[in-house]
Amino acid sequence: MTLISGDGVGPEVIGAAVEVIAATGVKIDWDRQAAGANAFRRFGNPVPEDLLQSMLRTRVALKGPLETRVAEGFRSINVLLRKTFDLYANLRPTISFPGIPAPFRNVNLTVVRENTEDLYAGIEHEVAPGVVESIKIITAKASTRIAKFAFDYARRTGRKSLTAIHKANIMKLSDGLFLKCARAVAKQYPEIKYTEQIVDAACMRLVTAPASFDVLLLENLYGDIVSDLCAGLVGGLGLVPGANYGDKGAIFEAVHGTANDIAGKNVANPVAAILSGSMLLDYLGHKREGDRVRAAVTSVLRAGRTLTRDLGGKASTSEMAAAIVRTIGRN
Ligand code: NAD
């Protein structure tokens, strides 16, 4: 598998995830590759050819966050990787953990985000000095396949309902097309209750009654924003894993970014990266080992003795990872 440690806290949390995966007994031959700001500093290229070749070979990666400068610099390497390997579905399961201080206790929802188009197409022009245009692309093909992915996920995992989130009252053509495709796909899954909500109202409902949501289906930009909001419901970005799936490969990565304010201090919460690792184990057919990782994480969080400071504790990244490794060993 390709291993991209990434920028900022990436090497710390990915190192923890690799240790935890090793503790399950699953042997993975990691092909370590640089990407992002650290690759740019070392090789003058944020997406070195070796990385692309590695991904073409393995088709699967565990990845740390990559830095993307605001309003300057090279385009997002995350977006580039997802588009190059057509990893069209971003899955972000967001679950409350026992013992963790969070605004809510009974959240169990999954964000399914379209990963290849929308305003993330990055098509921007300066039409005239002082006037810029950013183009939102929505296609029937991408909307239908992400809706199918979300409903298949809901069916496979025994989920009861799916909510498509949109702004089709304003973007009648683009978000309208997204909804039209979702409605057509919904008809093939009669056992799953299908509803729709406008994104602003959905945000209000998420922060007041998150337990009323099950699977959320969103375009790229709304999906990105809403998944960070959902992380806040359960105790923060340090807890929420993610995966980008395509028909021929996948990249597993936490929802959080490089967290530069805490990078290099051994204080970042490794749980999101570790749980992304458990999703990688599932994908590779090691569901039992994936379950062992999730059980160990839950048990360490519930015990509350070895928590990083974002969760109100004093443990370091490596202490928390070691506690999870020990728990896997005991079970
Ligand atoms: P961020 O997620 O890096 O940080 C937001 C806040 O959450 C910070 O206060 C940070 O300390 C905290 N946080 C994040 N992860 C944490 C963890 N594991 N443990 C404890 N606290 C944690 O978001 P940002 O500051 O908006 O973005 C920083 C950089 O990351 C930007 O360059 C952005 O483009 C990039 N980014 C990359 C990815 C990715 O590679 N998939 C995702 C999001 C952001």
Q: What is the pLDDT of residues 286-303, one digit of tens each?
A: 999 999 999 999 999 999
Which pLDDT score is estimated for 293?
98
* Residue 184, token pair as written in the block: 């057509």
Q: Which of 63, 237, 275, 316 for a ligand 1 pocket mutation test, highest count of atoms within 8 Å of Cβ?
A: 237
Band of pLDDT at residue 76, cut at 50, 70 and 90? confident
> How many residues does this entry show for the chain?
331
d(CA 141, CA 153): 18
Helix (H) or strand (E) segment spanning residue 142: helix 140-156
* This prediction's pTM: 0.96
Phi-psi region of 147 (alpha: psi -120 to 50; beta: other; left: phi over 0): alpha
**Ligand 1 atom closest to 65 (CA):** 40
CA–CA dist 304, 311 (Å, integer): 9
- Tokens of residue 290, six digits: 């994936």
Could you identify the atom of ligand 1 that is nearest to the CA of residue 271? Answer: 18
| Confidence at 263, pLDDT banded by 50, 70, 90 | very high
* Average pLDDT estimate for 169-190: 98
Task: Report the candidate in 165, 158, 314 with the shortest Cα–Cα distance to residue 229.
Answer: 165
pLDDT of residue 83: 87
| Ligand 1, CB within 6 Å, residue ranges | 9, 13, 65-68, 78, 237-238, 253, 256-262, 268-269, 272, 310
